[in-house]
């Protein structure tokens, strides 16, 4: 056994999923809350306070499905989870069927190469089927698909998983999770054979709209129809766009529904649903 093989063997032997606090793993790998591009005000209406970006900004499609996780562990095990809870572990005979995540992602999880001395988390949007009310936008045949939208690699997992749950939650929500950069995420998606959420544009931050009305028009221009339809019967109305810097230091979401609702409350007419 050469040095690299010995190091990999040692790292696998030092981590044991069955003796690790699963509540800590769950908390450390939850996807954090993402702010809206325009700040939310009373009763869900958007204000004119906008998220500040500088430099290049990447726009990706926000898919309306179920937020899911595949958590690959250093001992060769893996877990499947929804946004809030763990649903299944490698080798389980029975899994929690919630939101169709286990059925939709187990085969992909099994195809992933084992990790070495890292906790790696794939964050995917599972959509279509009967997963959400918006499934009809993507399919008329109850087809199910998934797209990768983010990934975390925890290399100092020992130090993180030994914290209290309140400390882990605070660390997570204050931006402690080491998300991959856009370049590394693209490389990882190619390695793992999974499609990313569609990349729509890359603009300088000075080119982004600043007020609610112009952002509403911007969404319609940049994404008139979803790029994630699973069959031609899908109605095609998109949920919105996620804006992010290449290193993911700033990220925000702009949902069409939020802008439609805000403009209606202001007495301005939002355009009709954008069907194909």
- Residue 219 CA to residue 224 CA, distance in Å, equals 7
Q: What is the mean pLDDT of residues 159-176?
A: 95
CB-CB neighbours of 19 under 10 Å = 7
- Whether pTM exceeds 0.85: yes
Largest CA distance in the chain: 72
CB-CB neighbours of 78 under 10 Å = 22
Three-state secondary-structure class, residue 101: helix
Identify the pLDDT of residue 2.
52
- Burial class for 3, CB neighbours closer than 10 Å (0-12, 13-18, 19+): exposed
Q: By percentage, how much of the chain surpasses pLDDT 90? A: 86
Identify the pLDDT of residue 11.
45
How are beta strands 251-255 and 78-82 bridged, if at all?
Answer: unpaired
> C-alpha angle with apex 100: 94 to 102, nearest 5 degrees?
45
Identify the pLDDT of residue 269.
61
Q: What is the mean pLDDT of residues 154-176?
A: 95
Identify the pLDDT of residue 43.
85
CB distance 242 to 212 below 8 Å: no
pLDDT tops 70 at residue 5 = no
- Residue 102 CA to residue 109 CA, distance in Å, equals 10
Dump pLDDT digits (tens) for 82-115.
999 999 999 998 899 999 999 999 999 999 999 9
Task: Give the contacts of 189 (CB within 8 A, at least 6 positions apart).
Answer: 148, 195, 196
- For 1-30+65-196, CATH number out of 3.30.470.30, 3.40.50.620, 3.40.50.720, 3.40.50.2020 equals 3.30.470.30
CA 95 to chain centre: 22
Identify the pLDDT of residue 274.
53
pLDDT tops 80 at residue 8 = no
How far is residue 75 from each of residues 1, 109, 141, 160, 210, measured CA to CA in Å?
18, 15, 39, 17, 47
Closest C-alpha to 150, from 37, 58, 258: 58
Identify the pLDDT of residue 44.
87
Domain boundaries, the chain: 1-30+65-196, 33-63+199-276
Confidence category of residue 271, pLDDT binned at 50, 70, 90: low
- Residue 152 CA to residue 106 CA, distance in Å, equals 19
């Amino acid at each position: 056994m050469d040095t690299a093989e010995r190091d990999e063997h040692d790292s696998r032997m030092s981590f044991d999923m069955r003796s690790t606090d699963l509540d800590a793993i769950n908390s450390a790998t939850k996807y954090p809350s993402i702010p809206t591009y325009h700040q939310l005000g009373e009763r869900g209406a958007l204000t004119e306070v906008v998220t500040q970006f500088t430099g290049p900004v990447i726009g990706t499609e926000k898919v309306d499905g179920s937020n899911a996780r595949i958590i690959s562990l250093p001992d060769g095990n893996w877990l499947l989870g929804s946004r809030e809870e763990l649903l299944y572990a490698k080798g389980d005979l029975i899994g929690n069927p919630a939101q169709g995540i286990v059925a939709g992602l187990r085969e992909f999880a099994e195809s992933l190469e084992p990790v070495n001395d890292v906790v790696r988390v794939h964050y995917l949007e599972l959509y279509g089927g009967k997963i959400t009310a918006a499934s009809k936008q993507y399919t008329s045949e109850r087809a199910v698909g998934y797209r990768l939208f983010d990934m975390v690699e925890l290399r100092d997992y020992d130090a993180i998983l030994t914290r209290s749950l309140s400390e882990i939650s605070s660390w997570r929500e204050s931006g402690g999770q080491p998300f991959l950069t856009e370049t590394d995420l693209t490389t990882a998606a190619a390695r793992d054979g999974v499609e990313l959420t569609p990349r729509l544009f890359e603009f300088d931050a000075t080119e982004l709209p600043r007020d609610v009305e112009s952002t509403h028009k911007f969404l319609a221009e940049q994404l008139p129809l979803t790029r994630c339809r699973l069959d031609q019967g899908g109605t095609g109305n998109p949920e919105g766009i996620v804006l992010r810097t290449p290193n993911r230091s700033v990220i925000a979401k702009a949902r069409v529904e939020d802008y439609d609702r805000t403009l209606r409350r202001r007495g301005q007419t939002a355009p009709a649903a954008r069907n194909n």
